[in-house]
Amino acid sequence: MRHFTFERAKSVDEAVKGGAQPEAAFLAGGTSLVDLMKLEVLTPLRIVDVSRLDLQKIEARTGGLVLGALATNTDVALHPEVRRRLPALAEALLSGASPQLRNAATVGGNLLQRTRCAYFRDLATLCNKRTPRSGCDALEGWTRMHAILGGSNQCIAAHPSDMCVALAAFDARVKVRGPQGEREIALTDFHLLPEQHPDREFALSPGELVISVFVPTTAAAARSRYVKVRDRASYAFALVSCAAGLELSGGTSGRIIREARVALGGVGTKPWRSIEAERALAGQPPTKDSFRKAAELLLAGAQPRRDNAFKVELAKRTMVRALTLAAEGA
């Protein structure tokens, strides 16, 4: 591990100032940052500890939830209003990591966690995300955990977050503050596709600190579920996951989907919201058949590789399962 200096920010302004310095990094729960520092993948010179800032609050407003950047994953997952108004988010958080990690991990840190691509995490391999233009060993390598959507010839690293998948499906917006002041970024714009610059992962400028996340809580959000498929029953990143929400109209016999929300995890280079699939579902009956059709549509452009070809079918089935559960209602 490289030597670094450590400062604890006493205010948001102080944090922003510190974070704007060269080679600085914010420290929240530390579960992603410190891990990568130990692997020497991240070697910041200056650690700005933001964990004591007063940004832990979770507020339930009419029309939506405001999640403080420092609210822990556990606190968000167990919050009664989150569970009631956006069950998919609670389920997504609880399906991630382990209780110990969730107790330390924060909303802001989860938004900015880095990929679990094994090549990104290994200095002995080539990685364009770590070192721009150096090459990528993953492309022809072990791709079981890699993305089948949104990859480029530079990078196919999957986005690892469960929380972000649920937030992406439900139009969350991220409030950030930087040296230039405050602004809001749609969650679906917050994470960038790798394209030719996989080293650029977030729509953030130096020093910009996440303050909070706002999620509108709609009817579809209230009828939402998160399904995660992984290699063991707990404590594993998603092979495939799906956040789905439905607003239904009509009686029990002739129900119709008024609005659908779908995002996939484990398969995209960013949390994979599909407006196209959502449109295809609108106006359809909530049946396996319509779900499967929408899933086919979503995955039509998938670009699987040797080890992750199974994800195409698995993603479809996972999406059908999540939509089925959402239709059944929690």
Partner 1 sequence: MKPTITGQPLARIDGHAKVTGAARYSAEVQISGVAYGVLVTSACARGRILAIETNDAEREPGVLAVITPKNALRLPDTKVPENDRVVQVLQDDRIVYSNQPVALVVAETLEGAMHAALLVKVHEEKEPATVRLDDEIKNAFEPEPQSASGKKSADQVRGDPARGLREAAMRIDETYQTPYETHNPLEPHATTAVWNGPDRLTVYDATQGVFGVRKKLAKMFALPTGNVRVLTKFVGGGFGCKGTPWSHVILAALAAKQVGRPVKLVLTRPQMFGMVGGRPLTRQRLSVGANKQGKLTALRHESVSTTSRFDDFLEPAASVSRHSYACENMATSHRLVRLDIATPTYMRAPGEATGGFALESAIDELAHALKMDPLALRLASYAETDPTEDKPFSSKSLRKCYAEGARRFGWAWNKRSPARADGMLVGVGMATSSYPAYFSKAEALARMLPDGTALVTSGAVDLGGGTYTVMSQVAADAIGLPMDRVRFDLGDSEMPEAPRSGGSQTAASCASAVLLAGRALRDKLVRMAVADAGSPLLGARPDEVLIENGRMTANGRTDSFADVVKRAGGAPVEERARAGPDEARKKWSLHSFGAQFVEVLVDPDLGHVRVKRLVGVFAGGRILNARLARSQLMGGMVWGIGMALHEETVYDEKIGRIMTRDLADYHVPAHADVQVIEPYFIEEEDVHVDPAGVKGIGEIGITGTAAAIANAVFNATGKRVRSLPITPDKLL
Ligand X SMILES: Cc1cc2nc3c(=O)[nH]c(=O)nc-3n(C[C@H](O)[C@H](O)[C@H](O)COP(=O)(O)OP(=O)(O)OC[C@H]3O[C@@H](n4cnc5c(N)ncnc54)[C@H](O)[C@@H]3O)c2cc1C
* Residues of the shown chain interacting with partner 1 in the complex, contacts defined by CB under 8 A: 1-3, 39-40, 43, 98, 116, 118-119, 122, 124-125, 137, 140-142, 144, 227, 229, 231-237, 239, 310, 313-314, 317-318, 320-321
**Closest separation between CB of residue 219 and ligand X, Å?**
26
Stretch binding ligand X (CB under 6 A), from 21-29, 83-91, 147-155, 279-287: 21-29
Site string for ligand X, 46-65 (x = CB under 6 A): ----x---------------
* Nearest to partner 1 of 232, 253 (CB atom): 232
- Contact between 69 and ligand X (CB under 6 A)? yes
* Nearest to partner 1 of 65, 145 (CB atom): 145
* Nearest to ligand X of 97, 299 (CB atom): 97
8 A C-beta contact, residue 165 and residue 227: no
Candidate list 75, 91, 162, 247; residue touching ligand X; CB under 6 A: 162
**To 10 degrees, what angle do helices 288-298 and 310-328 make?**
140
Residue 88 contact, options partner 1, ligand X, none, Cβ 5-8 Å cut-off depending on partner type: none
Site for ligand X in 97-136 (CB under 6 A): 97, 101, 104-106, 108-110, 112-113
Candidate list 9, 18, 29, 129; residue touching ligand X; CB under 6 A: 29
* Nearest to ligand X of 47, 246 (CB atom): 47
Residue 300 contact, options ligand X, partner 1, none, Cβ 5-8 Å cut-off depending on partner type: none
Strand 5-8 to 46-49 pairing: parallel
List the one residue out of 28, 35, 33, 34 whose CA is nearest residue 71: 28
Residue 59 contact, options ligand X, partner 1, none, Cβ 5-8 Å cut-off depending on partner type: none
Residue 163 contact, options partner 1, ligand X, none, Cβ 5-8 Å cut-off depending on partner type: ligand X
- Contact between 271 and ligand X (CB under 6 A)? no
Residue nearest to ligand X (CB): 109
Footprint of ligand X (CB under 6 A): 25-33, 35, 50, 69, 73, 96-97, 101, 104-106, 108-110, 112-113, 160-163, 209-210, 237
